[in-house]
Amino acid sequence: MTRFERWAVWVSSVTTVVTGVVYLWLKYVLVSDDPFAVVNSPWQGPVLKLHVVAAPTLVFAFGLVALRHVWRHLRNRVADGRLSGLTGAAALIPMIATGYLIQAVTDEGWLRALAWAHIGLGLLYAAAILFHQFTAGGRRGRVQRARIRR
C-alpha cells in the first residue's frame, strides 16, 4: 500500500467511525429535557451530515486498496492480518449497503433493523481495522514483505 492509500483508509475510517459513534450517542443515548423535542441535541443534524459526507470517502479509500492490497494479499496467501483484514472487508460491504438503504427505506420496522445492522457492522469494522493494524505487522511487516518481493 502506498502512503496515500494508507492515509486515505485511516483518515476516512477514523472520520466515519467517530462521526458515526457521536451520532449514535446523540440519537440513542442522550435524552432531551424537553418532552416535545424532535431531536435530542442541536448537534444531531450536523453530525449526521458530517457522517454522510465522510462515508463516501471511506468507500473510495476501500476501492483504492481493494485490488492492490486486499486482492494481492489474498492471492499471495499473506497470513499476517488475514483474519482481521477479511473481517473488516466483510463488515464494510454490508455496512455500506445498509448505510445507503437507511436513506431510502421508509418502513419503520425495516429502518430500525437496517439502523441496528449498520451500527453493529460499523463497530465490527472499527474493531477489525484497528486490530488489523497490529496483526498485519505495521511498519515491521511492510519492511519484511518488501524484502520478500525483491
pLDDT class of 82 with cuts at 50, 70, 90:
low
> Higher-confidence residue: 117 or 136?
117
Q: Looking at the 3D structure of the chain, how many domains does it have?
A: 2
Residues 60 and 85 in one domain: no
Give the tens place of pLDDT for each residue, 21-78: 999 999 999 888 888 888 888 999 999 999 999 999 999 998 888 877 766 776 767 7
pLDDT class of 95 with cuts at 50, 70, 90:
very high
Round to whole Å and give the CA distance between 48 and 76: 39
pLDDT of residue 74: 67
Residue 70 inside a domain? The answer is no
Distance between terminal CA atoms of the chain? Answer: 16
Give the tens place of pLDDT for each residue, 112-125: 999 999 999 999 99
Tell me the CB-side half-sphere exposure of residue 56, using CA atoms within 13 A.
5
Residues 47 and 1 in one domain: yes
pLDDT of residue 26: 94
Torsion of CA 150, 128, 71, 115, to 10 degrees: -160
Residues 85 and 148 in one domain: yes
Residues 30 and 57 in one domain: yes
Residue 125: which of 89, 100, 72, 99 has the closest Cα? 89
Which of 64, 98, 114 terminates a domain? The answer is 64
> Higher-confidence residue: 135 or 128?
128
Round to whole Å and give the CA distance between 9 and 52: 16
Which of 13, 32, 64 terminates a domain? The answer is 64
- Residue 145 reports pLDDT greater than 90: no
Residues 93 and 145 in one domain: yes
